[in-house]
Amino acid sequence: MVGTAVSETVKEFLPSKSWDSAFDDLATAIQQASVKILVVVDDVDRLQPKELLLLMKTVRLLGRFPRVNYLLAYDRYSTISTLRIALGTDRPAAEDYLEKIVQYPLDLPAPQQRFLQKIVFGALGPILDRASANVFGPTAKYRFESFYRDHMWTSLSTPRACHRFALQAKTFLPLSGGNVDAADFFALTFLRLFYALLFPATS
């Protein structure tokens, strides 16, 4: 985090000086302070077009400070799509713009399906186990596992999506007063979150 000393330095230099002069003075102050600053920006791909463009311009402008680095976390496809809207240009031009801002991209592999499944069933498994106890025939656990395998896994492709679904399912199930089938409720919760246009047809 930026300490109070650096904050006071910014206030001292920026108001009354030209940008070039203020930049040089602040760069010198950062070097003399012997501190390294890492600015972490998560969920960049969730920004609106104007917000994303402002962030990119800020990184480009302030990223030239010595000892200051930016770590941007984002989904590349979504970010480029939003950037294309912000710039009013085509996708290749948006990709070129992003490459000029992000100097050292590190692409992470897509999460393995078993890891994503562990998130979902780690959260909902105990509930399904209780609902399946002393049940003859297809249990709630069996039916939900089948529904997950046949319909859900392609939509739950990120840890964020898995956590979002599991949290919604766990939070709202108790509000039903125990009068619903757990597997059916989890399936309907999935449709409500990821297929909002289809969900009304289930009622």
Q: 57-102: per-residue pLDDT in tens?
A: 989 888 888 888 999 999 999 999 999 999 999 999 999 999 999 9
On whether residue 77 sits in a domain, the answer given is yes
> Which pair of tokens denotes residue 194?
């990821």
On whether residue 107 sits in a domain, the answer given is no
> Which pair of tokens denotes residue 86?
């912000």
User: Please, which pLDDT band fits residue 14 given cuts at 50, 70 and 90?
Assistant: low
In the listed set 101, 131, 160, which residue is the last one of a domain according to the structure?
Answer: 101
Query: 10 Å Cβ neighbour count for 166?
Result: 19
Percent of the chain, pLDDT > 90?
A: 61
Phi, then psi, of 78 in degrees rounded to 5: -65, -40
Cα distance between residue 36 and residue 30, in whole Å = 8
Q: How many CA within 13 A on the CB side of residue 70?
A: 21
User: Please, which pLDDT band fits residue 140 given cuts at 50, 70 and 90?
Assistant: very high
Mean pLDDT, residues 103-107: 90
Does one domain contain both 123 and 161? yes
Count of domains observed in the chain: 2
Query: 10 Å Cβ neighbour count for 47?
Result: 20
pLDDT score recorded for residue 17: 59
Query: 10 Å Cβ neighbour count for 35?
Result: 14
Does one domain contain both 142 and 85? no
Question: Which among 123, 163, 161, 121 has a CA at the least distance from the CA of 144?
Answer: 121
Taking the chain, what is the end-to-end CA distance rounded to the nearest angstrom?
50
DSSP H or E run through 144: helix 140-147
Q: Which amino acid is at 73?
A: A
Does one domain contain both 188 and 137? yes
Residue 1 has pLDDT above 80, yes or no: no
**Residues whose CB falls within 8 Å of the CB of residue 89, separated by 6 or more in sequence, listed in order:** 97
On whether residue 108 sits in a domain, the answer given is no
User: pTM above 0.85?
Assistant: no
Residue 32 has pLDDT above 90, yes or no: no
| CA angle, 197 then 180 then 167, to 5° | 60
On whether residue 106 sits in a domain, the answer given is no
In the listed set 58, 77, 101, which residue is the last one of a domain according to the structure?
Answer: 101
Cα distance between residue 26 and residue 9, in whole Å = 7
> Which pair of tokens denotes residue 38?
């890492």
On whether residue 76 sits in a domain, the answer given is yes
User: Please, which pLDDT band fits residue 28 given cuts at 50, 70 and 90?
Assistant: confident
Higher pLDDT, residue 162 or 58: 162
Does one domain contain both 28 and 67? yes
In the listed set 71, 101, 131, which residue is the last one of a domain according to the structure?
Answer: 101
Higher pLDDT, residue 84 or 37: 84
On whether residue 22 sits in a domain, the answer given is yes
Percent of the chain, pLDDT > 70?
A: 91
On whether residue 192 sits in a domain, the answer given is yes
Does one domain contain both 91 and 136? no
Domain that holds residue 81: 4-101
On whether residue 169 sits in a domain, the answer given is yes
Mean pLDDT, residues 156-173: 95
